[in-house]
Amino acid sequence: MSRLGRKEEETLIEMASATDDNMVILINFKPSESAGEDSNGPLYESGSNTESELPGNSEGLSSTETTLLIPDHQVIDKRHQSKDSVFFRDGVRRIDFVLSFVDDPNKDEEKKVDRRREFERNLQKSGLELETEDKKESENGKTYYVKIHAPWEVLITYAEVLNIKVPIKENDIPCTIENPIDCMLSPFRLPEKVMHPDPDYFTAPFRKDRQELYLIHDESTFFSPSVRNRIVFYILTRCPYGTEEGKKKFGIKRLLSNGTYTAAYPLHDCQYWKKSNDPHCDNERYTLYMEWARFLRFFKEQPLDLIRKYYGEKIGIYFAWLGFYTEMLFLAAVVGLFCFLYGWFTMDANMSSKEICDPAIGGEIIMCPLCDMDCNYWKLNTTCRPSEYSHLFDNVATLFFAIFMGIWVTLFLEFWKRRQARLKYEWDLVDFEEEQQQLQLRPEYEAKCTQKKKNPVTQEMEPYLPLTSKAVRFCISGTTVLFWISLIIASMIAVILYRLSVYAAFASIMKNTQTLQPISGLLTPQLATSVTASCLNFVIIMILNFLYERIAIWITDMEIPRTHLEYENRLTMKMFLFQFVNYYSSCFYVAFFKGKFVGYPGKYTYMFNHWRNEECDPAGCLIELTTQLTIVMAGKQIWGNIQEAIVPWIWNWWGRQRARCNPENLYSRWEQDHDLQHFGPLGLFYEYLEMVIQFGFITLFVASFPLAPLLALMNNILEIRVDSWKLTTQFRRPVASKAHSIGVWQEILNGMAVLSVVTNAFIVAFTSDMIPRLVYYYAYSPNADSPMSGYINNSLSVFRVENFSVEARPKDQGDIVFCRYRDYRYPPDHELKYSHTMQFWHILAAKMAFIIIMEHVVFIVKFFVAWMIPDVPADVTARIKREKFITQKILHEYELNKLKEKLCQGQTYQGMEKEFIATEGKMELSQAM
C-alpha cells in the first residue's frame, strides 16, 4: 500500500507512568510532513518537556497525544458555506464535536474565560483542531460555537487505545439459506441498502504499526462519524482545564455543570426531512427518518445495522431488544385475546352470576353492611353486572393463560439470548470487554478520591475510596432508599384509608341520587371506590417518581461509584427497586391482602383499631385487581408517551419560533442541533426502565387481565416509532457508545420471570374464585345434573344481626333477623357458631396444593425449555470460529511477510531466522487447530 513508507515515520504509542496524582502524562510526538498537510494547518512542534495531564488511563492502555495546533481563526464569509455543512470553513475537515458557550457578564465570567482558554489549549495539545464561530455570526447573536475536528493522527492513536475493530478483509462466509416463507414477509421488509448499509468485513483491533493491513481506502471516511465522535468525547472527558482549590480539574462534564460551556454534542449529518445538498454528506439521518421514524412505517422491520452505525451499539441493542420484545408480545396478545373472548362468549353460561342476578336467589339474599353504622343492608343482586363482568377474567381460561405466560416468559428470554448472540457476532462485539468502555474509571471517581494505593494487577498507583468513607456513604444511601420506600408504603396505606373512608359516602350518594339510578347496576359503591382510589394512587405514583428520580441520582453520585458500569448498575437497582414498590404495591394489596383479613360480623378486623378492613365483592376481588392494573398500566403508558414525544416537541417548536425572529441570519447545522433537546447519558436508562416496569405488569399480574399483553403490544408498536422519531428529530445526536447486551436489565427480567410464576399461582388460588368453585363442583355439589347450582348460597355464611356490637350495628336496623357474608363459617345456631367449617379447610388445602403443583409444573417446563434452547445458535458459533481462524491467519501472514521483508532488506540480527521459523510454526499450528 501507499501507506507503507509513511508508516515508518509515525511514532508508536509510548507507555507513560502515572504521576503522584494519578494523571497520565501524554507524550507528544512529531507528525510527518504529510500529516501536517492533511491537517490543513502549520504544525507547532513542542519540546519534550511540554506535557499535558489527563486523568488516569482506566482502560489499561496508555494514551498518546499529538501537539497539533491550528492557525488563528480565519475570518471567512459564512454565506459561502452551506447551512447543512458538517465541515470546517475549508470544506475538508469534518466537524466531529461542537462546544457552545455564551457571554455571561457576572463575577464568574473571568474564571469561565480562563477555564475555556486552558481547556481549548489542552485540546489542541492533544491533537484536536478547533475552529470558533463568533457570536456575531450566530443566529441569536449571543452564542459562540467551538467546532472540533480529530485529524487522522489522533484517530489512529485513540483507535488503538480504545481497541476499536476495523475491516481487514471482506467476509467470505456464505449467507444462510433463505427461508421459503421470506417471500410472504416481503411487505414487512426494508430495502437491502437500508438494512445493511455497509459490506460485511472480517475485522481486527486497530494497531498503528499495522496500518497497511487494514482496508484503508480513504482516511476521511475510514472511521465512521459515530466512531469519531466517540473518540473525541473520550478526549473531552479527560482533558484538564486547570487547578482550583488545590485540585486538578478536568472533563467536559464539569465544565457543563459549572456553566463554562452550555452544550457539547456531535452533529447530525443533515436535516431529517430532506437530503443535504452536500455530496459528501451521508444523509443517514434522512434515511432513518423516512424508513424508521415515521409511524406509517410501524409494520416494517427496523434497520438495526443503520441504527447501530449512526447512533452506536448501545442504542442499537436497545431497539433490537424492544423490537424483539414487541414481536414476542404478538403471540401473548393473541392467546390473551382468545382467553378474553372465551370469557365473553361463556358469560351467559356462568351459573354464579346467574344466581346473583336471579331475583328469586340474589334478590332474596340480604347481605351484611360493608361498613359500620353508616352502611345499610343490601341485596346480593345489586352486584349483578360486576359479577357478570368478572367472569370475563375469572374463568378456566385464566388458569391456562397463567401457565402459558410462565412458559412464554422463558421462551422470550431464551430466544432473546440467541438474538443477542447473533447481534454480537454481526456487530463485532464477540470479543468486546466491558472494561473498554464501561469499566473505565469515572473521571468523577478520580477527581474525588485523593488517596491512592497500588493495584495488585497493574502494580500502578490508583485512586481508591477508603472503606470507612465507603461504609458511611452506603449507610446514608441505604437509609435514604428505605425512607422513600417507607414513604411509598405510607402513601399506599393512605389510599387504603381513603378506600375505607369514602365507601360509606359513595353508598349514601348513590342511594339518594336519582340521576345515578339508571347506572346503579354497573356503577356500584365498590366499583366507584376502586376506580377513584386507583386514579388517586396513580397520581401519587407519578409525584413520587418525579421526586425520587432526582434523589436516586444524587445518592448514587454521593456513593462515588468506581466505574461507569458500577454507576449504571447501582442507579438501575435503586430506581427499579423504588418503581417496583411504587407501581406494584397497590396491585399486591388488592391481589393478596384485600378481603383476606376481614374477620366476620360481630368480630371484624380493624386497621389502627378504627377503620374496618375492606371486603371483596361476592364474586371475588379479581375484577378490582383488573381495574387497578388497567388504570395504572394504561395511565403510565399514556403519560410516558406525552413526556417522551409531546414535551420535547413543544420545547423545540418554541426554539424554532424564536429562531425565526432573525431570518436574515444563517441557521447553520450546529445551531440547528444546539436548539434540539439533550438526550443525556441516562436517556436509555429511562427507556429500559419504562419497558421493564411494563414487562412486570404483563407477567406478574397477567392472570387477572389477559388483555394486558395486547395493551402492551399496541403501546410498544407506538413506543418504537415514538422513540425513533424523538431520537431522530427532537434530540441532538447522542455520543456513540458500545454495549454487547442489555446489561443488568437481563438479570432483572430473569428475576421477574421467576417471581411471575409465584404471583400468578397465588392470584389464581387466592384472588380468583376458581378453586372454591372447583371444590364445590367436585365435593359439595348436591345436584349432579347442574353441579354449580347452589354455589352462591353455599359460599355465603349466615349471621344473626342481634350479635352485632354496638359500634358496628347499622343505624337503620329494620326487621332484618339474619344477614349473609362471604366466608365459610358455621351458622349462629351451631355449637361451633362462627368458626370455620370443614369446607374452608378443604378449600385452603386445595389452594396450597394448586400453588405447589402449578409452580412445580411451570418451573420444570421453564427449565426444560431453557435447557433445550442453546444461548448461541449453532451457525453463529461456526461463524465466530471461522472468523477467528481467518483473522489469525491474516495476522500471522502479515507478521511472516514483515519478517521476509526485513530478511530481504538485509536487516538481520541474531535470532531473526529463529523468529521466522517460529512464526511459520505458529501459522501451521493455528491452521491445525
What pLDDT is recorded for position 21? 35
Please say whether the beta carbons of 776 and 788 come within 8 A: yes
How far apart CA 24 and CA 64 sit, in angstroms, is 10
C-alpha cell at 721: 416509532
Query: Could you please report the per-residue DSSP string of 23-62?
Result: EEEEEEE---HHHHHHTTS---PPPTT--EEEE--TTSS-
Question: pLDDT tens, 41-73?
Answer: 333 333 333 333 333 333 333 333 333 333 334
Reply yes or no on whether the pLDDT at 74 is more than 80. no
CB 375 within 8 A of CB 821: no
pLDDT at 220 exceeding the cut of 90: no
Q: Mean per-residue pLDDT for 479-494?
A: 88
Retrieve residue 89's grid coordinates. 470553513
Q: pLDDT tens digits, residue range 798-842?
A: 999 888 887 778 877 778 889 999 889 999 988 888 899 999 999
Joined grid coordinates for residue 454: 497500588
The Cα 399–Cα 768 span in angstroms is: 10
Cell 519478517 -> residue? 899
Place of cell 471567512: 76
Q: State the chain's mean pLDDT as an integer.
A: 79
Q: Residue 433's pLDDT band (boundaries 50, 70, 90)?
A: low
pLDDT digits (tens, 9 = 90+) for 764-802: 898 888 899 999 999 998 888 888 888 989 999 999 988
Task: Give, as one character, the DSSP assignment of residue 614.
Answer: P
Q: Report the distance separating Cα 293 and Cα 273, nearest Å.
A: 11
Beta bridge partners of residue 148, listed in sequence order: 97, 130
When mean pLDDT is compared over 410-414, 548-552, 591-595, the highest value belongs to 410-414
Q: For 788, list phi and psi in degrees, rounded to 5.
A: -90, -5
C-alpha–C-alpha distance, residues 266 and 673, integer Å: 9
User: Quick one: cell of 372?
Assistant: 359500620
CB 420 within 8 A of CB 871: no
DSSP track, 663-695: TTS---HHHHHHTSBP--TTHHHHHHHHHHHHH
Q: Are 310 and 285 in contact (CB under 8 A)?
A: yes
Query: What pLDDT is recorded for position 694?
Result: 92
Grid-cell match 495488585, residue found: 456
User: Backbone phi, then psi, for 924, in 5-degree steps?
Assistant: -65, -40
Which pLDDT belongs to residue 896? 79
Task: Give the residue-averaged pLDDT of 223-241.
Answer: 90
- pLDDT in the model for residue 658: 63
Say which DSSP state 642 is in: I
Distance CA 833, CA 823 (A): 13
What per-residue confidence (pLDDT) applies to 129?
93
H or E element that contains 147: strand 143-149
Specify the pLDDT at position 656. Answer: 66
Is the predicted pLDDT of residue 328 greater than 90, yes or no? yes
In DSSP terms, which residues pair with 129 in a beta bridge? 149
- Residues with Cβ within 8 Å of 73's Cβ and at least 6 positions away in sequence, in order, are 131, 132
Cβ–Cβ < 8 Å for 225, 266:
yes
Is the distance from CB of 567 to CB of 561 less than 8 angstroms? yes
Q: Based on C-alpha coordinates, what's the Rg of the chain?
A: 34
Can you name the residues that pair with 203 across neighbouring β-strands?
Answer: 167
Band the pLDDT of 276: cuts 50, 70, 90. Answer: confident
Which run of H or E residues covers position 378? strand 378-379
pTM of the model: 0.82
Residue 255 carries which DSSP code?
Answer: H
Structure-block grid coordinates of residue 628: 387497578
- Pairing mode, if any, of strands 201-205 and 143-149? unpaired
- What is the end-to-end Cα distance of the chain in Å, rounded? 31
What integer is the mean pLDDT of 736-754?
Answer: 89
pLDDT score for 12: 28
Give the mean model confidence (pLDDT) for residues 739-768: 90
The DSSP element (H or E) to which 541 belongs, if any, is helix 525-559
User: What is residue 13's predicted lDDT score, i.e. its pLDDT?
Assistant: 30
Residue that is written with C-alpha cell 374452608 in the block: 840
Q: Which residue has the higher pLDDT, 9 or 522?
A: 522
The Cβ-side half-sphere exposure at 228, using a 13 Å CA radius, reads 26
Q: Which three cell numbers stand for residue 847?
A: 389452594
**Could you tell me what percent of the chain has a pLDDT over 90?**
24
pLDDT (0 to 100) of residue 439 = 54
Distance CA 886, CA 880 (A): 10
Taken as a whole, the chain contains a residue count of: 929
**How far, in Å, CA of 540 to CA of 543, rounded?**
5
d(CA 226, CA 433): 19
The full set of domain ranges for the chain reads 87-164+206-267, 874-928
Beta carbons of 56 and 446 less than 8 angstroms apart: yes
Neighbour count for residue 260 (Cβ, 10 Å): 22
Q: CA-to-CA distance for 776 and 846, rounded, in angstroms?
A: 11
Distance CA(583)–CA(640), nearest Å, equals 14
From CA 309, how far away is CA 224, in angstroms rounded? Answer: 8
**Residues with Cβ within 8 Å of residue 560, at least 6 apart in sequence:** 444, 445, 448, 449, 465, 473
What CA–CA distance (Å, rounded) separates 590 from 199?
55
Amino acid at 663: P
Q: For residues 919 and 922, what is the distance between their CA atoms, to the nearest angstrom?
A: 5
Q: How far is CA 895 from CA 31, 556, 900, 928, in A?
A: 25, 48, 9, 18
Question: How many CB atoms are closer than 10 A to CB 866?
Answer: 15
Between 220-234, 338-352, 843-857, 891-905, the lowest mean confidence (pLDDT) is in 891-905
- How far is residue 323 from each of residues 329, 405, 642, 727, 738, measured CA to CA in Å? 10, 19, 21, 16, 19
DSSP 173-223: SPPPPPPGGGGGGGGG---HHHH--S--EEEEE--GGGGGGS--S-HHHHS
pLDDT band for position 660 (cuts 50, 70, 90): low
State yes or no: pLDDT of 148 exceeds 80: yes
- Evaluate whether 313 touches 429 at the Cβ level (below 8 Å): yes
Does 90 have pLDDT greater than 60?
Answer: yes
Least confident of 36-50, 125-139, 634-648, 681-695: 36-50
* Residues 6 or more apart in contact with residue 684 via CB below 8 angstroms: 314, 315, 318
C-alpha cell recorded at residue 794: 353455599
Q: Is the pLDDT higher at 664 or at 500?
A: 500
Q: What percent of the chain has pLDDT over 70?
A: 81
- pLDDT on residue 908: 53
The closest alpha carbon to 30, from 15, 54, 18, 14, belongs to 14
Under the banding of pLDDT at 50, 70 and 90, the label for residue 917 is: low
* More confident of the two residues 264 and 434: 264
Confidence band for 893, pLDDT divided at 50, 70 and 90: confident
Integer angstrom CA distances of residue 840 from 525, 617, 771, 794 = 28, 18, 11, 11
Calculate mean pLDDT across residues 581-609.
85
Name the burial class of residue 782, with classes exposed (0-12), middle (13-18) and buried (19+) by CB atoms within 10 angstroms of its CB. Answer: exposed
Yes or no: say if 781 and 787 are a contact pair by the CB < 8 Å rule.
Answer: yes
The pLDDT of residue 925 is 44
DSSP secondary structure letter of residue 370: S
80 compared with 648, residue with greater pLDDT? 648
Q: Take residue 389 and report the three cell numbers written for it.
A: 363482568
Query: Under a CB-based contact definition with an 8 Å cutoff, are residues 829 and 797 in contact?
Result: no
> Sorting pLDDT into bands at 50, 70 and 90, what band is 307?
very high
Is the C-alpha dihedral spanning 591, 593, 596, 598 positive or negative?
A: negative
